[in-house]
């Protein structure tokens, strides 16, 4: 994949809504690599038949990886130092 093949972070909304009750695209996350703090929707999402990879829009480091297999969702968020949701 080239850098032009990415979608914005909203492309992850469907898969991530299976895990998070809140709209994750409006959550603010902090890149563990460069410290950029922005809404998840700003991330660059690369999708293929196996799942998706979300990269930081500033440094390009991996923020999250999600894959579905046999009725299970595997989610790796180690590229995020933290993730903050608004509560009502």
Q: With b meaning 16 or more CB within 10 Å and e meaning fewer, what string describes 52-87? A: bbbbbbbeeebbbbbbeeeeeeeeeeebbeeeeeee
pLDDT at 65: 95
pLDDT at 56: 97
Question: pTM score, two decimals?
Answer: 0.77
| pLDDT, tens digit (0-9, with 9 covering 90-100), for 10-68 | 777 766 666 667 778 889 999 999 999 999 999 999 998 889 999 999 999 999 999 98
The closest of 48, 50, 49, 38 to 9, measured between CA atoms, is 38
Q: Which two tokens stand for residue 87?
A: 């509560």
Per-residue pLDDT band for 2 (boundaries 50, 70, 90) equals low
């Amino acid at each position: 994949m080239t850098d032009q093949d990415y979608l914005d972070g909203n492309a992850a909304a469907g898969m991530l809504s299976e895990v998070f009750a809140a709209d994750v695209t409006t959550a603010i996350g902090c890149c563990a690599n460069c410290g950029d703090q922005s809404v998840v929707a700003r991330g660059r999402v690369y999708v293929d038949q196996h799942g998706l990879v979300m990269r930081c829009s500033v440094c390009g480091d991996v923020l999250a990886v999600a894959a579905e297999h046999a009725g299970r969702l595997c989610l790796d968020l180690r590229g995020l130092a933290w993730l903050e949701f608004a509560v009502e």
